[in-house]
Amino acid sequence: DAGVTQSPTHLIKTRGQHVTLRCSPISGHKSVSWYQQVLGQGPQFIFQYYEKEERGRGNFPDRFSARQFPNYSSELNVNALLLGDSALYLCASSSDRTYSPLHFGNGTRLTVT
Protein backbone atom coordinates (compact mmCIF):
# COMPACT_ATOMS: atom_id res chain seq x y z
CA ASP A 1 0.00 0.00 0.00
CA ALA A 2 1.15 3.52 -0.71
CA GLY A 3 2.17 5.63 2.23
CA VAL A 4 1.26 9.24 2.83
CA THR A 5 2.07 11.30 -0.25
CA GLN A 6 2.67 15.03 -0.29
CA SER A 7 3.07 17.47 -3.14
CA PRO A 8 5.01 19.37 -4.15
CA THR A 9 8.26 18.17 -2.56
CA HIS A 10 9.91 21.57 -2.80
CA LEU A 11 8.56 25.06 -3.30
CA ILE A 12 10.07 28.54 -3.44
CA LYS A 13 7.78 31.52 -2.89
CA THR A 14 8.18 35.24 -2.35
CA ARG A 15 7.01 37.14 0.72
CA GLY A 16 3.34 38.05 0.50
CA GLN A 17 2.43 35.21 -1.85
CA HIS A 18 0.05 32.38 -1.16
CA VAL A 19 0.83 28.65 -1.14
CA THR A 20 -1.23 25.44 -1.23
CA LEU A 21 0.23 22.15 -0.07
CA ARG A 22 -1.44 18.83 -0.72
CA CYS A 23 -1.59 15.50 1.09
CA SER A 24 -3.05 12.08 0.36
CA PRO A 25 -3.42 9.83 3.41
CA ILE A 26 -2.89 6.11 3.65
CA SER A 27 -5.91 4.27 2.28
CA GLY A 28 -8.45 3.77 5.04
CA HIS A 29 -7.12 6.56 7.25
CA LYS A 30 -9.71 9.25 7.90
CA SER A 31 -7.57 11.54 10.06
CA VAL A 32 -5.03 13.95 8.58
CA SER A 33 -2.78 16.22 10.60
CA TRP A 34 -0.41 18.97 9.50
CA TYR A 35 2.86 19.89 11.19
CA GLN A 36 5.48 22.57 10.63
CA GLN A 37 9.10 21.64 11.23
CA VAL A 38 11.60 24.45 11.31
CA LEU A 39 15.22 23.43 10.77
CA GLY A 40 16.72 22.06 13.96
CA GLN A 41 13.38 21.74 15.77
CA GLY A 42 10.75 19.10 16.31
CA PRO A 43 7.47 19.24 14.35
CA GLN A 44 4.84 21.67 15.63
CA PHE A 45 1.13 20.86 15.31
CA ILE A 46 -0.88 23.05 12.96
CA PHE A 47 -4.20 21.28 12.25
CA GLN A 48 -6.01 17.99 12.52
CA TYR A 49 -8.95 17.03 10.33
CA TYR A 50 -11.19 14.02 10.73
CA GLU A 51 -14.10 13.20 8.45
CA LYS A 52 -13.76 16.67 6.86
CA GLU A 53 -14.18 18.42 10.20
CA GLU A 54 -11.47 20.37 12.01
CA ARG A 55 -10.68 18.47 15.18
CA GLY A 56 -7.79 20.56 16.45
CA ARG A 57 -5.80 23.68 15.74
CA GLY A 58 -2.37 24.64 16.96
CA ASN A 59 -1.02 28.06 17.82
CA PHE A 60 -0.73 29.41 14.29
CA PRO A 61 -2.11 32.67 12.85
CA ASP A 62 -5.25 32.84 10.72
CA ARG A 63 -3.05 33.02 7.62
CA PHE A 64 -2.92 29.25 7.96
CA SER A 65 -5.99 27.29 6.90
CA ALA A 66 -6.75 23.76 5.82
CA ARG A 67 -9.51 21.54 4.60
CA GLN A 68 -10.20 17.87 4.04
CA PHE A 69 -12.01 16.46 1.05
CA PRO A 70 -14.53 13.58 0.82
CA ASN A 71 -11.71 11.22 -0.25
CA TYR A 72 -9.84 12.25 2.98
CA SER A 73 -7.06 14.05 1.11
CA SER A 74 -6.20 17.45 2.51
CA GLU A 75 -4.84 20.86 1.61
CA LEU A 76 -2.92 23.31 3.75
CA ASN A 77 -3.09 26.93 2.65
CA VAL A 78 -0.86 29.72 3.84
CA ASN A 79 -1.59 33.34 2.86
CA ALA A 80 0.64 36.41 2.98
CA LEU A 81 3.81 34.37 3.34
CA LEU A 82 6.50 35.57 5.70
CA LEU A 83 10.18 34.64 5.74
CA GLY A 84 9.53 32.79 8.99
CA ASP A 85 7.13 30.44 7.23
CA SER A 86 10.11 28.73 5.61
CA ALA A 87 10.03 25.19 6.93
CA LEU A 88 9.31 21.56 6.19
CA TYR A 89 5.55 21.00 6.21
CA LEU A 90 4.64 17.47 7.20
CA CYS A 91 1.35 15.73 6.70
CA ALA A 92 0.45 12.67 8.76
CA SER A 93 -2.47 10.29 8.60
CA SER A 94 -3.79 7.94 11.24
CA SER A 95 -6.69 5.66 11.97
CA ASP A 96 -9.09 6.65 14.70
CA ARG A 97 -8.08 3.88 17.08
CA THR A 98 -6.77 4.84 20.50
CA TYR A 99 -2.98 5.33 20.53
CA SER A 100 -2.94 5.10 16.76
CA PRO A 101 0.48 6.23 15.52
CA LEU A 102 0.96 8.95 12.97
CA HIS A 103 2.22 7.95 9.53
CA PHE A 104 4.12 10.86 8.04
CA GLY A 105 4.77 11.83 4.46
CA ASN A 106 8.18 13.09 3.43
CA GLY A 107 7.02 16.67 3.59
CA THR A 108 7.04 19.78 1.44
CA ARG A 109 10.11 21.97 1.84
CA LEU A 110 8.87 25.59 1.57
CA THR A 111 11.37 28.40 1.13
CA VAL A 112 10.12 31.98 1.34
CA THR A 113 12.45 34.63 -0.07
Footprint on this chain of other proteins (rule: CB under 8 A):
4, 31-33, 35, 40-45, 48, 50, 55-56, 58-59, 90, 92, 94, 96-107
- The nearest distance, CB 47 to other proteins, in angstroms, is 9
Tell me how far, at minimum, the Cβ of 15 lies from other proteins, in Å. 25
Query: Closest distance between other proteins and the C-beta of residue 48, in Å?
Result: 4
Of 14 and 99, which CB lies nearer to other proteins in the complex structure? 99
Check: CB of residue 103 under 8 Å from CB of residue 29: yes
CB nearer to other proteins: give 2 or 14.
2
3-state secondary structure of 85: helix
Distance CA 42, CA 77 (A): 21
Residue closer to other proteins (CB basis): 11 or 102 = 102
- Judge contact between 94 and 31, C-beta under 8 A: yes
Neighbours of 68 (CB within 10 A): 23
Dist. CA 105–CA 30, nearest whole Å: 15
